[in-house]
Structure 1
Amino acid sequence: MIIENIIANIDDFEREELERRHIERVYLESAHLLKRIQRVKTDHGNEIGIRLKSSRELTAGDVLFMDEKNLIMVDVLSDDILAIRPGSLKEMGTIAHQLGNRHLPAQFEAGEMLVQYDYLVEDLLKELQIPYTREDRKVKQAFRHIGHSHG
């Protein structure tokens, strides 16, 4: 089976609609959400080719296939992250500036700044006394590195 379009996201469906379908999952590393062409296996061992026509990236919960009985969706493996919880605007500005200078991709979720684990960033957070935790957490989107130079 070749998937060329994403049907919807699992969050768009009513609970009753999902309960009457058998759900298979394709587990991806968050970095693989950026790949438009890839071969994957579901948790039931079914092989699927993904060749997206649009430039849209995959996100957790994307439905790749659905019929009356079955549904195949994308799920994401946990990432080793730092969940940063600045206590003030000054702390947020300080850490955002420091991480921006390193061109480190970040995501924001429920008052937290999420970055992939890096021992140097952890040392910086300790030094600046900015509250954080190290966690294994599923993120909905890939951490996107943006190319840039100070040329």
Structure 2
Amino acid sequence: MIVLTRRIEAADRVDGTVTLDVDSRIKSRLRVTLDDGREAGLMLDRGHLLRGGELLADAAGSLVVRVLAAPERVSTMRCDDPHLLARAAYHLGNRHVPLQIEPGLLRYQHDHVLDDMLRGLGLTVEAEQAPFEPEAGAYQSAPHSHNHSHEHSHDHPFVRLPSHA
């Protein structure tokens, strides 16, 4: 089996491709099937979201594979108004939603509750199939799962507040 162990900046040739959704591109240890059917394993350094277009190589550098971001079900909001775009990003960020940010565009994994929230702000949201390339974030290197329960905490696990006893 092919074992891809490192990221490389450039290569004279590419020997194959692997198409992965964002949930797979988060993982550093993963068994994958290359687009030509060959089996491979990812054994990469932790803490890095694989991006579409990145190159991976085996330990010897004799095999190079390009990562492709798979189209997946996403919600896309396009807006030319910078203020409205910032408001939408604020509300999605407040819910810790992994978010792809581009000029005039916000994209997140499809969620009808979030779609309705943005529509309530006066925005148009479209569900579509597209590659999802979220921001890594200031304190993390990959998106994390989220839920939309009404219980929400910003408590940091290492911060201890004084008791009032």
Taking structure 2 as the reference length, what is the TM-score of the superposition? 0.70
Whether the 8 Å CA contact 1:27–1:42 is kept in 2: the answer is yes
Aligned length: 140
Aligned residue type for 1:6: R
Q: Distance in 1 between matches of 2:111 and 2:145?
A: 17
Whether the 8 Å CA contact 1:33–1:57 is kept in 2: the answer is yes
RMSD: 2.7
Unaligned runs of 5+ in 1: none
Distance 1:146 1:48, change over 3 A: closer
Q: Distance in 2 between matches of 1:136 and 1:79?
A: 5
Whether the 8 Å CA contact 2:19–2:69 is kept in 1: the answer is yes
Distance 1:72 1:134, change over 3 A: same
Give 1:39-50 correspondences, 5 Å limit. 39-50=31-42
Question: 1:29: how far off?
Answer: 1.6
Distance 1:56 1:90, change over 3 A: closer
Tell me the percent identity. Answer: 26
Match of 1:80 among 73, 78, 82: 73
Unaligned runs of 5+ in 2: 137-141, 147-151, 156-165
Taking structure 1 as the reference length, what is the TM-score of the superposition? 0.75
Q: Distance in 2 between matches of 1:80 and 1:117?
A: 6
Q: Distance in 2 between matches of 1:55 and 1:145?
A: 12
Larger RCO (CA under 8 A, 6+ residues apart): 1
